[in-house]
């Protein structure tokens, strides 16, 4: 958390200043109240009226500062949360296709939602409370010193005891907090998986399975929250008991000093109020600190993830174009966390602007070859060369600019058709409409501004495939890799779309055969037959 606070240190310093001001004014109000009582006892009406007016003004100022703090604190904590989200998203963007797809992506949703909510609610919010509490404790002790040295010294001793007692539960708290974070991830993972499988469960009359498993995970999540609450409760009880005993003891001591005439009668109220500040603060401080400490496992998890996925130093400079254009030499590959070798000793030289058809039985590695050529899996044995350089010498951005892979499940973002075509680039209206026409989609302004819902549910499967192809055509990739790239498209349109690529003399096209149309077979320069 320290790193993110330092990034916004000036805002934080100003917040600290305001919090200290509130604490100082509250302590001063206790002194003023003592003066009011003394004035009543002494029958000093003028002093009484002056102190009453001052007391009122103090609380008006406190109310004004509190109002400002409510806005400034929210602005600060949401700024911190957004900075953390930004670092997480940037780190996710640095992950390779292989690494990202080897893990459960729903955990990142839990991190940026559940975990960050804990950071805000239990970390940053209680940081404000701790700051104000410490300020109030210190200022109250100084004021007590002004009244009587012994009251201050005894307060310090009792405060130290009150502060120490709850710390014995800190280790247990760290364990329950880490367990809660893991269980939140587990709940999101299971719930997302089952909700995404709604259609399948519906078809098999198995929706009760969704309810059963989600309830099971909810039960585990509840248990994790209860375990953490028990620790928080223990910390709170230890602090509370020590707090009450200390306040009663010091109020009794002050009463004796008043009885002996060493202090004015109004001071007993002031001391009671000030010791309340001290011991309420000290008594609750372990609880507040435990809330802040409970976020440490979350930050440790974030820091580890960011460190493990720091931006690589892949070559982003332009590499000299050489031969071969695209080649695989003695390539062997197996998917992560598996032992089955999918590609073994495969070699082939793909010439520039030629058209290739990969043919063979299901499971022989046709789709895998395309993913390897696209740079999705860098952990292969052998060599894959593009324009004379090993594929792993290129930065991912360079490969994506030159090689486009289209599978049977194209992805879209929520937004308009225009948003999905442009992504982070800018194209003219003419370019957008021209490419839509090329892939047989509506090229009207109305279609460009049509909203694409989550998962592309507002478009047909064929429209999604054509939209993905249009997105690639806009960027003029040198190599097109099609793995069932026209699935879901009406046969005549699918044939024409493939011909659009196969007849282009400036594109290298490699297609996986899943029942290639006879009309297009003659457009391929080479057919590569694969076997298991």
- Read off the pLDDT of residues 220-239 as tens digits, 9 standing for 90 and up: 999 999 998 998 888 878 87
What are the C-alpha distances in Å from 515 to residues 71, 355, 363, 373, 408? Answer: 63, 17, 15, 22, 14
Closest by CA to 48, choosing from 26, 31, 29, 33, is 33
Query: For domain 2-308, is the CATH number 1.20.1560.10?
Result: yes
Q: Which CATH architecture has domain 326-530?
A: 3-Layer(aba) Sandwich (3.40)
| Mean pLDDT of all residues in 471-488 | 82
How many other C-beta atoms lie within 10 A of the C-beta of residue 207? 14
Quick one: how far is CA 427 from the chain centroid? 31
159-173, 259-273, 470-484 — most confident range:
470-484
Q: Rounded distance, CA 155 to CA 277, Å?
A: 11
| pLDDT at residue 517 in the model | 72
The C-alpha angle with vertex 381 and arms to 375 and 382, in degrees rounded to 5, equals 90
Burial per residue of 43-63, b for 16 or more beta-carbon CB atoms within 10 angstroms, e otherwise:
eeeeebeebeeebeebeeebe
**Distance separating alpha carbons of residues 218 and 238, to the nearest angstrom:** 30
Domain-by-domain residue ranges, the chain? 2-308, 326-530
What's the mean pLDDT in 505-513?
90
The predicted pLDDT at position 166 comes to 74
- Is 86 in a helix, a strand, or coil? helix
Q: Compute the average pLDDT of residues 462-478.
A: 86
Taking the C-alpha atoms of residue 27 and residue 51, their distance in angstroms, rounded to an integer, is 15
DSSP for 373-392, written as a single string: HTTS----EEEEEETTEEGG
Provide, rounded to the nearest whole percent, the portion of the chain with pLDDT above 90: 29
Classify residue 312 by its DSSP letter. P
**For 35-73, how does the pLDDT look when each residue is reduced to its tens digit (9 = 90+)?**
898 888 888 999 999 999 999 999 999 999 999 999 999
Min mean pLDDT across 23-32, 40-49, 107-116, 317-326 is at 317-326
Any idea what DSSP says for residue 532? -
Structure tokens at 373: 């050529």
Is the model's pLDDT at 353 over the cut of 90?
Answer: yes
CA neighbor of 110 nearest in space, from 32, 30, 217: 217
d(CA 256, CA 437): 94
- Out of 62-66, 140-144, 288-292, 436-440, least confident range: 288-292
Indicate whether 312 pLDDT > 60: no
Of residues 176 and 260, more confidence is placed in: 176
Residue 194 clears pLDDT 80, i.e. is over it? yes
Which three-class secondary structure state does DSSP give residue 197?
A: coil
Nearest CA-CA partner of 267 in 284, 251, 290, 249: 251
Q: Average pLDDT, whole number, for the chain?
A: 86
pLDDT of the residue at 50:
93
> What is the model's pLDDT at position 331?
94
Per-residue pLDDT tens digits for 381-435: 999 999 999 998 888 888 888 999 887 778 888 889 999 899 888 999 999 999 9
pLDDT computed for residue 69 by the predictor: 94
Residue 521 has pLDDT above 70, yes or no: yes
At residue 487 the predicted structure's pLDDT band, cuts being 50, 70 and 90, is: low
CA atoms within 13 A on the CB side of 335: 12
Task: Classify the C-alpha dihedral 204-207-212-213 as positive or negative.
Answer: positive
Coil/strand/helix, residue 475: coil
Give residue 460's pLDDT: 80
Report the run of H or E that residue 304 belongs to, with start and end. helix 296-308
Read off the tokens for 515: 């029942």
């Amino acid at each position: 958390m320290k790193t993110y606070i330092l990034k916004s240190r000036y805002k934080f310093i100003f917040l600290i200043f305001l919090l200290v001001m509130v604490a100082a004014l509250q302590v001063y109000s206790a002194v003023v109240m003592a003066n009011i009582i003394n004035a009543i006892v002494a029958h000093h009406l003028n002093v009484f009226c002056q102190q009453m007016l001052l007391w009122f003004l103090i609380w008006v100022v406190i109310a004004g500062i509190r109002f400002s703090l409510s806005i400034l604190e929210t602005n600060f904590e949401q700024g911190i949360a957004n900075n953390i989200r930004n670092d997480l998203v940037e780190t996710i963007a640095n992950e390779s296709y292989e690494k990202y797809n080897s893990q459960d992506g729903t955990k990142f949703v839990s991190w940026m939602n559940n975990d960050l909510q804990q950071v805000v609610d239990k970390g940053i919010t209680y940081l404000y409370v701790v700051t104000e509490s410490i300020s109030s404790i210190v200022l109250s002790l100084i004021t007590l010193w002004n009244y009587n040295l012994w009251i201050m010294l005894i307060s310090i001793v009792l405060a130290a005891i009150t502060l120490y007692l709850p710390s014995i539960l800190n280790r247990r708290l760290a364990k329950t907090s880490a367990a809660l974070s893991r269980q939140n991830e587990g709940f999101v993972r299971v719930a997302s998986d089952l909700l995404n499988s709604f259609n399948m469960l519906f078809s098999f009359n198995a929706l009760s399975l969704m309810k059963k498993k989600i309830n099971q995970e909810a039960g585990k999540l509840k248990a994790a929250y209860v375990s953490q609450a028990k620790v928080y409760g223990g910390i709170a009880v230890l602090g509370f008991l020590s707090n009450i005993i200390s306040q009663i003891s010091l109020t009794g001591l002050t009463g004796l000093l008043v009885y002996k005439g060493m202090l004015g009668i109004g001071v007993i109220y002031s001391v009671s109020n000030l010791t309340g500040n001290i011991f309420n603060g000290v008594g609750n401080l372990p609880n507040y600190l435990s809330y802040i400490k409970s976020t440490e496992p979350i930050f440790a998890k974030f820091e580890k993830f960011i460190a493990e996925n720091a931006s690589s130093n892949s070559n982003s400079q332009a590499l000299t174009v050489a031969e071969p254009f695209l080649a695989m030499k003695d390539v062997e590959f197996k998917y992560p966390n598996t032992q089955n070798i999918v590609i073994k000793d495969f070699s082939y030289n793909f010439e520039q602007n030629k058209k290739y058809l990969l043919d063979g039985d299901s499971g022989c590695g046709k789709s895998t070859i395309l993913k390897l050529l696209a740079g999705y899996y860098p952990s292969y044995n052998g060599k894959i060369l593009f324009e004379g350089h090993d594929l792993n010498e290129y930065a991912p951005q360079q490969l994506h600019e030159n090689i486009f892979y289209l599978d049977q499940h194209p992805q879209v973002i929520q937004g308009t058709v225009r948003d999905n075509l442009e992504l982070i680039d800018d194209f003219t209206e003419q370019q957008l409409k021209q490419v839509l026409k090329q892939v047989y989609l509506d090229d009207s302004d109305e279609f460009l501004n049509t909203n694409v819902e989550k998962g592309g549910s507002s478009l047909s499967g064929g429209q999604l495939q054509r939209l993905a192809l249009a997105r690639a055509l806009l960027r003029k990739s040198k190599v097109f890799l099609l793995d069932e790239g026209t699935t879901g498209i009406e046969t005549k349109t699918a044939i024409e779309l493939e011909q659009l690529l196969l007849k282009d003399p400036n594109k290298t096209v490699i297609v996986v055969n899943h029942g290639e149309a006879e009309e297009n077979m003659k457009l391929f320069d080479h057919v590569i037959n694969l076997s298991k």
